Chains A and B, each alone.
Chain A
């Protein structure tokens, strides 16, 4: 699939000249250009989103229509559909496991951070490329390799990993436990190792680039919020992914070398295993030390994109720029001290539970600050409803409705009832899954003109938005009721339980809604690939936005800016500034050029600015003389 799209890129780019001609392989496959790597991440992410989404449709069919004859799926699933046309229960577990793994890591981590951090960091901070183009390329190809291994595991005879995306031991550690804990689990661990290496390389690059390669004048207090979000996401990843590596390493030793880090006193088929002295809760601690920050690795980039899109399309400065940064920082710090709220019912000391409950509820504060700031930015703005804007507003909506249920789940007492029910599923699919997904889609719609030099079709975008937005609520809202009623997640079937029967129709409704929502994504796919070749040609700054990427040529070549990198003189949110001629003033416009709209304190800064500009001119002159 990637070869096909690569070949297509070629056709699209053929008609214009580049300064230096790369051959096909260095330009489209082993490219070191951050924009191409970003596109590679995006297309790969979309491929995985399709697979992950399709897997969820398969298990939704089972949940919504337990009596259904699924023989028609046999050409695809083969032996996983038995003679009676029923889905194999162990394969059901594999489906939910792979859905989770793919969506969390491959789509919302690599697809989201990989695409937009790569694409936007150099463009928005004014750099020619990432700090190390080679490492960036390596990062993508390790991700690709990881994807290939995970993809192969889908076709194993014993099935892919099936112990849940959290792969708790002992289930995941003992091959004899379930079929999915055999080779499928091994490949899962191998794939994740490559994935961790890929994320770390990407993250190191993002942080280095943001800190070292900002253009003149681009201080941290002038950085767009997108960059702040990508930067902090990379910091979180850098600190948490190694811990997952440590956890996985010990799991590998337990699985393949017979150690007992996580295993103790286990009987299988009446026979005692030799392992003694291990602690499965230890794995949970290590896993969730990554697992919880991972939620923010997924969410923060989406929040950053939303900040940018909402400010631009409200034609208003973002409300509380500093408060946004502080809450991002707050979320970053707090994300590391709340992991045990995933373990309230794991037999952990209840006193610890209270501490983690307290810390967890504190996260509501920075989150609420962000929501408040989004709403106040929208308030009385000149709203322009581009598809990107709609998806960003959708994100805010999901962030609110999904975030509220987090307050319940964060309570260690209420969690006893709600733990591992569909309430949890509903909660995180709204607040993390759908919200991040919407952020990603908003980003694609917003930066598509910069990526491909063409516009996506807005009308199709609206249809896509409304079907997806309503669809997501139809899928996940009923799940709250199912969860409160006590339905546990990851169960193949509930029809054996009397209390569960009355919810069969609700499950059916959810499944139908899921199919509609999934189908709606094909509108997006069509729009994406069609617009890549046939879309309306983009202008240089189609959204009339302030940030640096819109000062590049319509299709920026290698090095991004043909001449000098522009210097930055103001923050990125000067929209509708009183007194200004236009309703936006790009970051590259000096304060001295806009005396009519400067605020009193900015007038003071003009003097400093003039000095910087003089220096710059000297540099320019000296550069020119040295070149000639």
Chain B
């Protein structure tokens, strides 16, 4: 693959975007479409009646905060990397990973809260949808955590610095996207509940 990229560099590129970064954006589009489909399914199904009403777990407020903080830490790491501040980069990345894991734990407790409310995965679709939204988002977030950990490890090999930002940029884009996706889902649930 290295070889192919060398070829590519010789060509005058009409749009100056790293192909892999562009591909990442397209991948984000597919995730958007999955959740657009699920949330529209939610609305369509809700409008047909026979819809169980229950309280959203209040822990969602905390997890939303956690995911925002995590994004901020990653952004801090990103800026540090731009200035070749390795310690700042590692701190930012490490804290972003930790808060990401804290978010996942929080989401797990939201399920516990739902079960306490007698809202189960199996039952009225109203509850099942909530499990699917949070679960599918968590699956994506786990992949994001893995991505961040990989980048974190590569910082110890000095592979991420101001001259080599591509991987970190992609990780940052993906992570911010996942945070925004959660906020969208939470807003959506608040408004359509």
User: Which residues of A are interface residues toward B (Cβ below 8 A)?
Assistant: 32, 126-129, 131-135, 200, 203-205, 207-209, 211-216, 218-219, 238-243, 245-247, 249-250, 253, 257-261, 264, 276-279, 282, 285-286, 289, 559, 564-565, 619, 623
Contact = CB atoms under 8 A, between A and B. Distances in A.
Given A212-B15, A219-B14, 19 more contacts: A127-B11, A128-B7, A131-B20, A135-B23, A205-B23, A213-B8, A238-B33, A242-B34, A243-B33, A247-B37, A253-B121, A259-B121, A260-B122, A261-B41, A276-B50, A277-B123, A286-B41, A559-B7, A564-B10
B11 A246 contact: no
B23 A131 contact: yes
Interface in B122-170: 122-126, 128-129, 132, 136
A285 B10 CA distance: 47
Interface residues of B, number: 43
B85 interface: no
Contacts of A289: 37
Interface of B: 1, 4, 7-8, 10-15, 17, 19-20, 22-23, 26-27, 29-34, 36-38, 41, 44-45, 48, 50-52, 121-126, 128-129, 132, 136
B128 A253 contact: yes
**Interface majority SS (helix, strand, loop, mixed), chain B:** helix
Nearest to A33: B4
A260 B33 contact: no
A277 B37 contact: no
Interface centre among B7, B34, B125 (most CB of A within 10 A): B125
Given A238-B30, A286-B41, A216 B11 contact: yes
A145 B154 CA distance: 32
A204 B4 CA distance: 18
A213 B11 contact: yes
Given A128-B7, A250-B132, A239 B33 contact: yes
A238 B29 contact: yes
Contacts of B124: 260, 276-277
B4 A133 contact: yes
Given A238-B26, A242-B31, A260-B123, A253 B132 contact: yes
B29 A286 contact: no
A278 B23 contact: no
A226 B1 CA distance: 27
A131 B125 contact: no
Contacts of B48: 279
Given A212-B15, A246-B41, A258-B122, A623 B10 contact: yes
Given A131-B19, A212-B19, A242-B33, A285 B1 contact: no
A4 B129 CA distance: 47
Nearest to A245: B34
A552 to B, nearest CB: 14
Contacts of A132: 1, 19-20, 23
Shortest Cβ-Cβ A-B pairs, 9 listed: A242-B33, A128-B7, A246-B37, A131-B19, A243-B37, A242-B34, A258-B122, A204-B26, A259-B128
26 contacts: A126-B11, A129-B7, A131-B23, A132-B19, A132-B20, A133-B1, A204-B23, A211-B22, A213-B11, A213-B13, A216-B11, A219-B14, A238-B33, A242-B34, A243-B37, A257-B121, A259-B128, A260-B124, A260-B125, A277-B51, A278-B125, A282-B41, A282-B44, A285-B41, A565-B10, A565-B11
A277 B120 CA distance: 14
Contacts of B31: 242
Contact of A128 (B4, B12, B51): B4
Nearest to B7: A128
B122 A208 contact: no
Nearest to B6: A128
B45 A282 contact: yes
Contacts of A205: 23
Contacts of B7: 128-129, 559
B143 to A, nearest CB: 13
A261 B11 CA distance: 50
Given A279-B48, A282-B44, A285-B41, A32 B22 contact: no
Given A129-B7, A276-B124, A243 B34 contact: yes
Contacts of B19: 131-132, 208-209, 212-213
Contact of A261 (B15, B22, B125): B125
